[in-house]
Amino acid sequence: MSQHWIADRLHQIDASGIRKVFDLAANLKDPVNLSIGQPHFDTPQPIKDALAEAVAAGHNGYSQTQGIAPLLEILQQHVDEAFGHSDRQVFITSGTSGGLMLALCSLVNPGDEVIVFDPWFVMYKHLVTLAGGKVVEIDTYPDFRIDLNQVRDAINDRTKAILCNSPANPTGYVAGAGELQELAKLAAEKDIALISDEIYRSYCFDGDFQSPARWNERTVVIDGFSKSHSMTGWRLGYMHGPSELMQQMLKLQQFTFVCAPHPVQWAGVAAWNVDVSEYVEEYRRKREFMISELRDDFEIEGGGGAFYLFPRAPWGTGTEFVTEAINNNLLIIPGNVFSPSDTHFRISYAAEDAVLERGVELLRHLARRGPK
Task: Check residue 305 and give its pLDDT.
Answer: 96
* Mean of all residue pLDDT scores within the chain: 94
On the question of a common fold for 3-43+276-366 and 61-271, the answer reads: no
pLDDT higher than 60, residue 57: yes
pLDDT tens digits, 311-338: 999 999 999 999 999 999 999 999 999 9
Ordered DSSP codes for 145-159: ---HHHHHHH--TTE
Task: Check residue 370 and give its pLDDT.
Answer: 84
Asked if residue 299 lies in contact with residue 312, where contact means CB atoms within 8 angstroms, the answer is: yes
Q: What is the pTM of this model?
A: 0.95
- What's the distance, Cα to Cα, between the start and end of the chain in Å? 42
Task: Check residue 2 and give its pLDDT.
Answer: 64
Q: How far is CA 165 from CA 110, 181, 223, 243, in A?
A: 23, 14, 11, 22
Q: How far is CA 156 from CA 79, 190, 363, in A?
A: 32, 9, 43
How far is it, in rounded angstroms, from Cα 103 to Cα 107? 6
How far is it, in rounded angstroms, from Cα 238 to Cα 321? 38
pLDDT higher than 60, residue 1: no
Name the CATH architecture for the domain at 61-271: 3-Layer(aba) Sandwich (3.40)
Which residues contact residue 155 at a Cβ distance below 8 angstroms, ignoring those fewer than 6 apart?
115, 186, 190, 192
Which residues contact residue 118 at a Cβ distance below 8 angstroms, ignoring those fewer than 6 apart?
137, 138, 139, 140, 141, 339, 340, 341
pLDDT higher than 80, residue 20: no
pLDDT tens digits, 259-301: 999 999 999 999 999 999 999 999 999 999 999 999 999 999 9
Domain boundaries, the chain: 3-43+276-366, 61-271
pLDDT tens digits, 195-221: 999 999 999 999 999 999 999 999 999
Kindly provide the b/e burial profile for residues 82-108, where b requires at least 16 CB atoms within 10 angstroms of the residue's own CB.
ebebeebbbbbbbbbbbbbbbbbbbbb
Task: Check residue 333 and give its pLDDT.
Answer: 94
Which residues contact residue 12 at a Cβ distance below 8 angstroms, ignoring those fewer than 6 apart?
129
Kindly provide the b/e burial profile for residues 28-57, where b requires at least 16 CB atoms within 10 angstroms of the residue's own CB.
beebbbbbebebbeebbeebeebbeebeee
Q: How far is CA 272 from CA 51, 67, 73, 276, in A?
A: 13, 15, 12, 10
pLDDT tens digits, 232-256: 999 999 999 999 999 999 999 999 9
CATH T-level topology, domain 3-43+276-366: Aspartate Aminotransferase, domain 1 (3.90.1150)
CA 291 to chain CA mean position, Å? 21
Task: Check residue 116 and give its pLDDT.
Answer: 98
pLDDT higher than 90, residue 27: no
